[in-house]
């Protein structure tokens, strides 16, 4: 096991702590920050996570490095941007799970497959890695009482392994499409939609073959929120297991997401869509961390952080040094209050070029100083540069690129510096060709492979 960890306390003193017995990372796929009540959702979607945030630390401005699952979780598990990972088939050369295992933690992951699968190297560093396509097996409405099987398997593993120090990663595609949870739809008009928002309907909306309006958007948002509430209940069951095993007071829990979801705010055709843009609806995600060993001076961190910082933080709390080339940094100084500034958040959206080895940057964004600059490749629709002042325009509707040319130029230079630093490491292809039939069907059911693709 690693040596004693250090944690901050009021007055600026450092007190040594025993490393946590357990570390739990929960990844709730496609969860935008305002999906949780603690981030402003008026529906009671997240009583468990709200309570966890009250006991721990909530990061108000956590930004993902990507707007879809594969690069999002690569960033989380490595502390590096996806495009720095030299991703080739089973890449993830820098999985930060490995240092935890080397420090004596038993490592286990329970995921719902798709892009969070061993095929893409997500299993590296784990002693146990189980994946299941639970979320996409059913297309009909789901009973509200039905629990998430992924969390049930994780609880079983905990019950069998609670005596030894552990790192546990649990991933679920709730609330990713299809949206089937009807907890909040009573009294709402579905319009032209059915009782659930399945993949076929989603594709018709995105393609423009099914026109939707405000009624449909409100109905789909209620279905989405039902998925958030189901995830929250699953987290609660996992926390109850930690309590029943007598290890909750020695287990650090972090909850976040790989990316968010567009729910028609900018365009009705973007109802249940991600991986197409770099607006905050798909980049701003929740991040909650509870360390029961310490009540930190700062319980709500308003400064900007990145999902790249999550694993370096868990390593820090465990007293384990990360590799030197990790871009993410521990969030503990922000929790202590000894650091008081935003961290620059750079995000990318890539596509594959004509040659299989080419990976072209379709869009990139820099979120800094209260502004966001988005640079778009000439091959895509829209302006070359978009500049938004986030405090006054949180929905990113008023492009200030022409009105603020000096600021635009300065931020664009900073964005190019970020991109150049990644280019120095070489860029990977955006995805590896998937030939496994079962995995292809999972990705097709999640909407990542279209029905007309081979």
Tokens at residue 241, please?
A: 């297991």
* Confidence band, pLDDT 50/70/90 cuts, at residue 91: low
**Strand 128-131 versus strand 106-111 pairing type:** parallel
| Eight-class DSSP state of 279 | S
Looking from the CA of 449 toward its CB, the CA atoms found within 13 Å total 19
Angle value at C-alpha 153, between 180 and 72, nearest 5 degrees: 65
DSSP E strand boundaries for 223-311 = 251-256, 262-263, 271-273, 284-285, 287-290, 300-306
CA distance 216 to 264: 10
| pLDDT tens-digit map of 301-353 | 999 999 999 999 999 999 999 998 899 999 999 999 999 999 999 999 876 44
CA distance 332 to 433: 39
CA distance 167 to 105: 6
Contacts with 37 (C-beta within 8 Å, 6 or more apart), sequence order: 43, 44, 45, 46, 47, 50
Tokens at residue 347, please?
A: 């995000």
Contacts with 7 (C-beta within 8 Å, 6 or more apart), sequence order: 14, 15, 17, 291, 293, 294, 296, 317, 332, 336
**For residue 8, what pLDDT is reported?**
45
Do residues 171 and 154 touch, judged by C-beta distance below 8 A? Answer: no
Can you tell me the mean pLDDT for 91-111?
90
> What H or E segment, with its residue span, contains residue 362?
strand 359-368
Can you tell me the mean pLDDT for 37-56?
98
Query: pLDDT at residue 84 above 60?
Result: no
Angle value at C-alpha 176, between 174 and 181, nearest 5 degrees: 60
**Strand 300-306 versus strand 57-63 pairing type:** parallel
CA distance 399 to 385: 9
Query: pLDDT at residue 364 above 90?
Result: yes
CA distance 401 to 398: 9
CA distances from 282 to 44, 261, 347 (A): 21, 5, 11
**For residue 448, what pLDDT is reported?**
77
| pLDDT tens-digit map of 114-161 | 999 988 889 999 999 999 877 666 656 677 667 789 999 999 999 999
The CATH classification of domain 345-445, taken from the options 3.40.50.10210, 3.90.550.10, 3.30.420.270, 3.30.1120.10: 3.30.1120.10
Do residues 61 and 341 touch, judged by C-beta distance below 8 A? Answer: no
* Confidence band, pLDDT 50/70/90 cuts, at residue 86: very low
CA distance 73 to 97: 13
Q: Quick count: other Cβ atoms within 10 Å of Cβ 138?
A: 13
**For residue 139, what pLDDT is reported?**
57
The CATH classification of domain 19-336, taken from the options 1.10.1200.10, 1.10.1040.10, 3.40.50.720, 3.40.720.10: 3.40.720.10
| Eight-class DSSP state of 185 | -
> What H or E segment, with its residue span, contains residue 27?
strand 22-28
Domain boundaries defined on the chain:
19-336, 345-445
**For residue 322, what pLDDT is reported?**
92
Angle value at C-alpha 82, between 77 and 85, nearest 5 degrees: 85
Nearest to 397 by CA among 237, 271, 257, 280: 280
**For residue 7, what pLDDT is reported?**
47
Can you tell me the mean pLDDT for 39-63?
98
Tokens at residue 25, please?
A: 């990372």
CA distance 292 to 20: 9
CA distance 419 to 386: 17
Q: Is the peptide bond before 178 cis (omega within 30 degrees of 0)?
A: yes
CA distance 431 to 89: 8
């Amino acid at each position: 096991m690693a040596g004693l960890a250090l944690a901050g306390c009021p007055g600026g003193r450092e007190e040594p702590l025993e490393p946590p017995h357990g570390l739990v990372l929960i990844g709730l796929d496609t969860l935008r920050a305002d999906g949780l009540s603690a981030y402003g959702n008026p529906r009671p979607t997240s009583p468990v996570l709200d309570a966890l945030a009250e006991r721990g630390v909530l990061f108000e401005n956590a930004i993902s490095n990507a707007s879809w699952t594969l690069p999002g979780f690569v960033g989380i598990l490595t502390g590096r941007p996806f495009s720095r990972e030299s991703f080739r088939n089973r890449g993830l050369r820098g999985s930060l799970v490995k240092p935890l295992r080397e420090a004596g933690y038993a490592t286990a992951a329970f995921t719902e497959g798709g892009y969070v699968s061993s095929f893409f190297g997500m299993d590296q560093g784990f002693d146990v890695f189980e994946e299941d396509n639970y979320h996409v097996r059913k297309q009909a409405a789901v009973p509200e009482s039905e629990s998430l099987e992924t969390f049930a398997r994780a609880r079983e593993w905990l019950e069998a392994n609670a005596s030894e120090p552990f790192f546990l990663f649990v991933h679920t595609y709730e609330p990713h499409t299809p949206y089937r949870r009807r907890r909040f739809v009573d009294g709402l008009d579905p319009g032209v939609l059915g009782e659930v928002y399945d993949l076929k309907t989603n594709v018709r909306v995105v393609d423009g073959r099914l026109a939707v309006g405000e009624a449909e958007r409100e109905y789909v948002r209620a279905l989405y929120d039902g998925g958030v509430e189901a995830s929250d209940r699953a987290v609660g069951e996992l926390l109850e297991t930690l309590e029943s095993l007598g290890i909750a007071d020695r287990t650090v829990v972090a909850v976040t997401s790989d990316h968010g979801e567009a729910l028609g705010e900018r365009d009705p055709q973007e109802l249940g869509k991600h991986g197409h843009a770099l607006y905050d609806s798909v980049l701003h995600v929740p991040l909650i961390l509870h360390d029961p060993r310490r009540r930190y001076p700062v319980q709500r961190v308003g400064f900007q952080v990145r999902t790249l910082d999550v694993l370096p933080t868990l390593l820090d709390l465990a007293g384990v040094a990360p590799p030197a080339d990790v871009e993410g940094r521990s969030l503990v100084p922000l929790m202590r209050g000894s650091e008081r500034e935003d961290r620059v958040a750079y995000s990318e959206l890539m596509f594959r070029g004509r040659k299989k080895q080419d990976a072209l940057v379709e869009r990139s964004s820099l979120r800094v100083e209260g502004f966001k600059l988005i640079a778009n490749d000439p091959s895509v629709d829209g302006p070359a540069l978009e500049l938004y002042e986030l405090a006054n325009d949180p929905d990113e509707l008023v492009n200030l690129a022409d009105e603020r040319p000096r600021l635009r130029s300065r931020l664009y230079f900073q964005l190019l510096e970020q991109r150049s630093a990644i280019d120095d490491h070489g860029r990977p292809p955006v995805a590896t060709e998937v030939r496994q039939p079962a995995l292809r069907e999972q990705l097709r059911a999640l909407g990542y492979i279209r029905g007309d693709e081979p």
